[in-house]
Amino acid sequence: MIKKKKDLRRESIIEAAALLFKQKGFGGTSMRDLADQAGMDAATMYHYISSKDEILKTICFDIANRYVSQLEEIEASQSTYTQKLKALVRLLIHLMVNKGAEVSVANNDWKYLSPEALEEFKRLRSHYEKRLASLIEKGVEAGELQDVNQSVALFTLLSAVRWVELWWKPGRGISLEELENTILTVLFQGLEKKEA
């Protein structure tokens, strides 16, 4: 029970830190800022977390591991390559909507990781991108996708959902389902209306 309570407190500190890092940047956030945001004094906070660097590493690797596990789930499915890519886009959007601050930190502040953690994070990211590129390549080979430059396709797909964590909020007048469907339509069918 005590461990559970400690874990919950640690999670709340990390969530508070993610919000602050998103607002002020990793470099612009002090431990005092974190303590204030978490509603405790700095000495108490050190009972749960050892440093700002530890928080950043926790956030970045949690998000990276979520990306990888989502991709593994998609790769293992029996869907077509197009269906796999669409499902992955939906999962990415959900992650950005539900963990927007954390995704923002992993996207923007990863460069502040310690040298060892930075190398591991870059390896994870590169491995993820290669596996996603492989899905696109296989989709082209199967005749499901247009034969376009696959690097451009990969980074267009990733950047096409990256803005969601900055823009989306419940009061936008668009449901999560409509957001997903619109992004999928633009990505997989384009904006140009086809002649009947």
Count of domains observed in the chain: 2
pLDDT on residue 166: 84
CATH no. for residue 158? 1.10.357.10
Q: Is residue 194 part of a domain?
A: no
- Whether residue 120 is contained in a domain is answered as yes
| Residue 195 is assigned to a structural domain of this protein | no
Task: Compute the Cα dihedral for 15, 178, 170, 104 and give only its sign.
Answer: positive
pLDDT digits (tens, 9 = 90+) for 132-179: 999 999 999 999 999 999 999 999 999 989 999 888 888 888 999 999
In a domain, 86, yes or no: yes
pTM of the model: 0.89
| 154: CB partners within 8 A, 6+ apart | 129, 132, 133, 136
Task: Establish if 35 belongs to a structural domain.
Answer: yes
Q: Are residues 30 and 84 in the same domain?
A: no
**Quick one: how far is CA 44 from the chain centroid?**
30
- Tell whether 22 and 59 lie within a shared domain: no
Residue 7: domain span: 1-50
- 41-58 pLDDT tens trace: 888 888 888 899 999 999
Q: Is residue 179 assigned to a domain?
A: yes
Q: Do 83 and 158 belong together in one domain?
A: yes
CATH number at 35 reads: 1.10.10.60
Task: Report whether pLDDT(102) > 80.
Answer: yes
